């Protein structure tokens, strides 16, 4: 009996060990083979993100019942190791958020309603993810919680689109760029490996759904680019952190550099932080891209206490018109008399600022002293007397090398702001430089306008003294090219302007239809009608809005100048009335008690019906600036008229080829 009992006990122990081993093995395998899925939808239930956590992290988006983004793969390589390889979830949480944001400098709306549902995932290994779903789009970002500094070697974003998707592709030849691109209509599978674009970028699906992609809240981190591989997939590309540079030999030694050495990483940064939001605006209505404000909503809140000194406004600008002043008793050019004339013009037309562009300094590198023919201190004094502020242009490179002394000097003179030019990069150091300039200028109550710049990515919410960015192929290109067409002008609001203000520099007073156009660097001519240029003051968003032509040109046609001078540069409310990318656009905007309507057209003459039901109760006097009867032949032909309207008014407007229509509505 005893041996039998011993044998039985031995077998029982063996079975127990095998059972425990089997359970442990199955548990271990389950952690690697059983995927976890999460779903989160927008408030209107039209948009849904499906997140899949398996051996890697992927997600997809459904909108209007269509899977518009079949697969998005994401990861980050930190200190040489991928974060999301066999990821293990520690916790998940869903929140709903609904609160207003008040914009200090409103480009679309003063009160922005921030409404979203958010999925929060926390993973083993000290990282997490946030997914947000808005009615107008989706967004995600990583965050990490690690000690000390970390190196981000790379970031993975592989976006797979539906077959047949096309892109309006702002192709770059180099990441060293002014980011002033045309939008090339390309099938995704025609974009080969090695071809890449800057952001923002627009995609058009075969289901007539548009998808805009860009980023927000980008701090201490490079900007993203997207590259192709001859398929329906695009992947993230980043500039490496710069280790060494040297000046480019030749005539542009003061502004262009050659990157001679790069680090192996794209960013070295704090180990505990959030990373930039990556977002998609998705809609089958083009109006959505005009009215949405995703970058602002996804960006860090106000970082400065006193904002009362920040005054948006219009600017009389010198460089585009080559100081072509006439009918005066002095020789125009880079001299004190010319700029006093600009100040007199600005004062007479209630224009808030004059920019002294390239040429006012002793040299482009010696920017603490001025050109002996220009007395900057006297111009600032004279401008103050006339109620006009002076903004000073400078190159980024010398500013970066001596920022404290230069900004102290400009502020000490009484300048109102700086226009910083020729950054031309989007690596981590340059992104940090933008932040430093904004912060240091805010300390000294200086406004900022970035030229030679990448696109807006959220800095202006934290530092509302940042009033505008270039990063747009705008009116200046009319000085040397003929591709700034009405179609291009009607592409910009849906893509580039969708991420923030753009310093396009409107206001050309020499205008031509396509067959009459010619290129003239000293006396540039715009494509499209005079009314097309005027409508930009309502349609194009920039709280520091230029009048690009010469004071003499505006004074010669005082009616145009007086009309433009009445249009503000910030807006309490924005409503898109008609919108078709590349074809036409009509927008109504509110400032105080007044409303403003702008309409623009491509090369096809058309009519649009304007419904004034956006108006409050009461009667309004409407002053209209529209294409003249002969604008299809002579682009400078226009007509100004006044009529009375109310919220029950419906009006059909006529737009010439490359035409425009603008109305100022004041309550009676």
What one-character-per-residue DSSP string does 531-559 give?
Answer: HHHHHHHHHS--SEEEE-S-HHHHHHTHH
Give catalytic status of residue 427 as yes or no.
no
d(CA 370, CA 373): 8
Query: What count of residues does the chain have?
Result: 668
Give the distance between the most distant pair of CA atoms in the chain.
Answer: 129
In the beta sheet, which residues pair with residue 124? none
What one-character-per-residue DSSP string does 396-432 give?
Answer: HHHHHHSHHHHHHHHHHHT--EEEEE-----SHHHHH
Q: Which tokens belong to 171? A: 């192709």
Which residue among the candidates 421, 449, 503, 541 is catalytic per the annotation? 421
Give catalytic status of residue 476 as yes or no.
yes
| Residue closest to 651 by CA, chosen among 628, 629, 620 | 620
Please, are residues 649 and 554 in contact by the beta-carbon 8 Å criterion?
A: no
Please, is 171 exposed, middle or buried when counting C-beta atoms within 10 Å of its C-beta (0-12, 13-18, 19+)? middle
d(CA 592, CA 571): 8
**Dihedral angle of Cα 366, 372, 377, 383, to the nearest 10 degrees:** -110
d(CA 80, CA 100): 41
Please, are residues 518 and 561 in contact by the beta-carbon 8 Å criterion?
A: no
Which residue among the candidates 476, 503, 541, 549 is catalytic per the annotation? 476
d(CA 217, CA 276): 5
d(CA 547, CA 562): 12
d(CA 552, CA 531): 19
Q: Which residues are part of the catalytic machinery?
A: 421, 476
């Amino acid at each position: 009996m005893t041996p039998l009992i011993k044998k039985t006990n031995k077998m029982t122990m063996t079975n127990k060990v095998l059972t425990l081993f089997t359970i442990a093995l199955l548990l271990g395998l389950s952690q690697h083979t059983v995927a976890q899925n999460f779903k989160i939808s927008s408030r209107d239930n039209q948009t849904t993100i499906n997140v899949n956590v398996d051996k890697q992290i992927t997600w997809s988006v459904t909108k209007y019942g269509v899977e518009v983004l079949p697969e998005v793969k994401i990861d980050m390589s930190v200190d040489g190791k991928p974060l999301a390889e066999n990821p293990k979830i520690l916790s998940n949480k869903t929140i709903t958020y609904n609160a207003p944001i008040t914009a200090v400098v409103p480009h679309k709306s003063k009160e922005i309603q921030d409404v979203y549902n958010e999925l929060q995932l926390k993973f083993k290994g000290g990282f997490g993810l946030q997914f947000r779903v808005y009615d107008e789009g989706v967004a995600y970002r990583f965050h990490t919680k690690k000690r000390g500094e970390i190196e981000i070697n790379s970031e993975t974003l592989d976006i797979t689109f539906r077959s047949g998707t096309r892109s309006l592709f702002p192709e770059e030849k180099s990441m060293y760029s002014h980011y002033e691109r045309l939008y090339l209509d390309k099938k995704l599978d025609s974009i080969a490996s090695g071809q890449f674009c800057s952001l923002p970028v627009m995609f058009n699906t075969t289901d007539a759904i548009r998808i805009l992609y860009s980023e927000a809240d980008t701090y201490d981190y490079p900007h993203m680019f997207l590259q192709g591989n001859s398929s329906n997939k695009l992947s993230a590309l980043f500039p490496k952190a710069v280790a060494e540079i040297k000046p480019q030999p030749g005539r542009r030694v003061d502004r262009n550099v050659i990157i001679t050495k790069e680090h192996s990483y794209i960013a070295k940064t704090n180990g505990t932080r959030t990373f930039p939001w990556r977002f998609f605006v998705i809609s089958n209505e083009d109006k959505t891209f005009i009215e949405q404000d995703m970058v602002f909503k996804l960006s860090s809140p106000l970082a400065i206490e006193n904002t009362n000194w920040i005054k948006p406004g219009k600017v009389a600008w010198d460089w585009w018109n080559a100081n072509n002043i006439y009918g005066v008793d002095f020789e125009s050019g880079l001299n004190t008399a010319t700029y006093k004339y600009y100040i007199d013009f600005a004062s007479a037309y209630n224009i808030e600022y004059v920019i002294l562009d390239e040429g006012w300094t002793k040299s482009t590198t010696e920017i603490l002293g001025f050109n002996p023919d220009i007395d900057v201190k006297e111009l600032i004094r004279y401008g103050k007397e006339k109620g006009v502020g002076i903004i000073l242009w400078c190159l980024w490179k010398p500013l970066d090398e001596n920022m404290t002394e230069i900004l102290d000097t400009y502020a000490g003179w009484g300048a109102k702001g700086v226009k910083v030019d020729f950054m031309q990069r989007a690596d981590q150091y340059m992104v940090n430089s933008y932040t430093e300039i904004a912060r240091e200028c805010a300390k000294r109550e200086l406004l900022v306008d970035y030229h030679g710049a990448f696109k807006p990515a959220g800095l202006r919410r934290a530092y509302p003294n940042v009033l505008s960015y270039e990063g747009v192929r705008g009116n200046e290109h009319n000085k040397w090219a003929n591709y700034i067409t009405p179609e291009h002008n009607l592409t910009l609001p849906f893509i580039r302007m969708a991420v923030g203000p753009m310093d396009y520099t409107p206001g050309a007073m020499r205008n031509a239809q396509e067959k009459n156009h010619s290129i003239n660097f000293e006396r540039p001519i715009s494509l499209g009608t005079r009314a097309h240029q005027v409508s930009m003051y309502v349609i194009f968003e920039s709280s520091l809005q230029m009048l690009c032509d010469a004071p003499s040109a505006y004074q010669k046609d005082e009616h145009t100048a007086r009309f433009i001078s009445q249009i503000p540069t910030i807006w309490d409310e924005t409503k898109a009335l008609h919108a078709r990318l590349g074809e036409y656009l009509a927008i109504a905007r509110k400032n105080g008690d007044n409303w403003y309507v702008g309409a623009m057209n491509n090369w096809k003459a058309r009519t649009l019906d304007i419904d004034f039901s956006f108006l409050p109760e009461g009667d309004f006097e409407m002053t209209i600036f529209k294409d003249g009867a002969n604008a299809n032949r002579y682009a400078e032909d226009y007509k100004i008229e006044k009529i009375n309207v109310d919220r029950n008014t419906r009006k059909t407007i006529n737009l010439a080829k490359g035409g425009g229509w603008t109305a100022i509505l004041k309550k009676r």
